[in-house]
Amino acid sequence: MNRLDNKVCVITGAGSGIGKATAEMFAREGATVVVTDLRAPAAEEVAHGITAAGGRAMALAVDVGEEADLKRMVDTTVSEFGSIDVLYNNALFVNTEFAMRDMDILEFDTEVLYANIRVNVVGSVIATKLAIPHMLKRGNGSVIFTSSGSSLGGDVTAYSYGASKAALNWYVQAFAATFGKKGVRSNAILPGPIQTPSKIAWSTPEMDADFMDVLNSPRLGEPDDIASMAVFLASDESRYVNGVLYRVDGGMSCTVPFISVTRKALGRKD
């Protein structure tokens, strides 16, 4: 329960889903958590829940698409708590209307691509650029990114989302290469389907049954499944881990691509 004692951890998009679960788990592991989100009330509610349970947390309203917000996030963390040990870039561009405009590549919409890139890529890169000098001063730090299984292959929809996460993977490895020798590590988590508000909003029970067909796991993922990996990456237990893209996806990507064909031919469900 003390794997993150004395660590100051900043999380973006921490008002919901994976970010919220991670903020709460980091606090239970002894970290001081800076809970940031575009939606101030959501960040405040999570931070309040942590302090009510005896943990240490502060809430900040941060739009990761705004460099000034990210500078305030890093500066406030350092002035309040003296350091920044862990930065978790997790915020997600959420916009149903834009998502509907991202379903046909022959109607490709650059406004949708740029909106996804602004939050999912540029926000993470700028936050990391601003946090790393503080980590370098101490010769120690861990930067974590939430990428996605969608970054690993082609798809028939969400052309801007998948592309943004693929670009993010490149930066994760570039930061790892640039700062690894100086003690600052960068790693990404690539979740499969995780039961968060965003995922629940777009999937149906039929889709969940189909997800179970492609997972090699007895259940769908929960936010704590990702938070557990984030605790490992934030902690000193992962001190020799740098530049890795971790698939935390219930075994979704571990098989040959034609596994469902084989299972069906053999009449097997598992």
Which of residues 173 and 198 has its CB atom nearest to ligand NAD in the complex?
198
- As a whole number of Å, the end-to-end CA separation of the chain is 35
Sole binder of ligand NAD in the list 9, 117, 194, 234 (CB under 6 A): 194
Q: How many residues does the chain have?
A: 270
The residue written with tokens 């999937």 in the block is 203
Distance CA 66, CA 147 (A): 20
Handedness of CA 177, 249, 234, 134 (dihedral sign): positive
Distance CA 14, CA 21 (A): 8
CB of 138 to ligand NAD, least distance (A): 26
Q: Which H or E element spans position 125?
A: helix 123-138
Which of residues 94 and 166 has its CB atom nearest to ligand NAD in the complex?
94
Spot the catalytic one: 88, 161, 171, 246: 161
User: Is the distance from CB of 6 to CB of 30 less than 8 angstroms?
Assistant: yes
Q: Does 92 bind ligand NAD (CB under 6 A)?
A: yes
**Which amino acid, 240?**
Y
161 is catalytic: yes
Distance CA 177, CA 198 (A): 32
Handedness of CA 148, 78, 132, 125 (dihedral sign): positive
How many binding residues for ligand NAD (CB under 6 A)? 30
Which of residues 244 and 261 has its CB atom nearest to ligand NAD in the complex?
244
Which of residues 93 and 179 has its CB atom nearest to ligand NAD in the complex?
93
Q: Using CB under 6 A as the criterion, what x/- string covers residues 35-64 for binding ligand NAD?
A: --xxx--x-------------------xxx
User: Is the distance from CB of 88 to CB of 32 less than 8 angstroms?
Assistant: no
195 C-beta neighbours (distance < 10 Å), count:
16
Q: Does 13 bind ligand NAD (CB under 6 A)?
A: yes
CB of 25 to ligand NAD, least distance (A): 13
CB of 224 to ligand NAD, least distance (A): 12
User: What residue number has its CB nearest to ligand NAD?
Assistant: 17
Residues 119-158 that bind ligand NAD (CB under 6 A): 119, 146, 148
CB of 124 to ligand NAD, least distance (A): 9
The residue written with tokens 């001190």 in the block is 239
58 C-beta neighbours (distance < 10 Å), count:
20
Sole binder of ligand NAD in the list 24, 193, 242, 252 (CB under 6 A): 193
Q: Does 17 bind ligand NAD (CB under 6 A)?
A: yes
User: Is the distance from CB of 123 to CB of 150 less than 8 angstroms?
Assistant: no
Sole binder of ligand NAD in the list 10, 59, 91, 131 (CB under 6 A): 91
CB of 107 to ligand NAD, least distance (A): 23
Catalytically active residues, by annotation = 161
User: Where on the chain is the footprint of ligand NAD (CB under 6 A)?
Assistant: 12-13, 15-19, 37-39, 42, 62-65, 90-94, 119, 146, 148, 191, 193-194, 196-199
